[in-house]
Amino acid sequence: MIPRIWFIRHGESVANASGFLAGHHDSPLTARGEAQARALAPALRRLAPERIVASDLRRAWRTAGLAWPAPEPPLERTEALRERDLGAWERRDHASLRTTGDNARLLSWSDPPPQGESHAMLARRALTWLAEHDDGRRTLLFVHGGLIRAVVGLLDGIPHDRIGLWKVKNVEIVARATPPGRWSELLTTFG
């Protein structure tokens, strides 16, 4: 089966460069992140997408705009494809999570950060959008590492306790071929 959906993580953000968790915090791209996004353009043109959608967080839609500067197809934005809501942990540095032992909770499938979302909650939100937009069009999704880990992890059958361990690099492209109805099926079965 030929890939028809490409998940693309945003370019390097200020949060990435500074070592803190962004979540829903609207961290902009760094100059390096903007250059990474521009460098994607030739490879993306070869994919001939029919739809381009980005998270409504600036680091994702800015990456999309730089990587796909053409007016067609038009860029759509949605909050349904935002990064995981990290609640009270947003803007917290990674080192402090390791020091306090909260890193295991961050990587957990079902245990959310205080006032935030678990990977399972994020997957349910993203899968709902994917199921509603499962129309066979070749689609570029400019999103976030947590979303890619959760959704593609489920799609690939990765055990829930291992999904949080996958590190998705900035501007990494993750291609998948999915038969019609697969997102709806995942949504009803992942638990």
Give the pairing of strands 51-55 and 173-176: unpaired
Amino acid at 104: A
Please, what is the angle between helix 182-189 and helix 119-132, to 10°? 150
Closest CA to 62 of 17, 13, 125: 13
10 has catalytic annotation: yes
- Alpha-carbon Rg of the chain, whole angstroms? 16
Q: Which of 10, 24, 119, 144 is labelled catalytic?
A: 10
Enter the tokens of residue 141. Answer: 């999704």
| 160 catalytically annotated | no
Q: How many residues are listed for the chain in this entry? A: 191
Helices (H), the chain: 14-18, 31-47, 58-67, 94-100, 103-107, 119-132, 145-155, 160-163, 182-189
Q: Which of 83, 90, 117, 119 is catalytic?
A: 83
Tokens of 110: 């079902």
* Catalytically active residues, by annotation: 10, 83
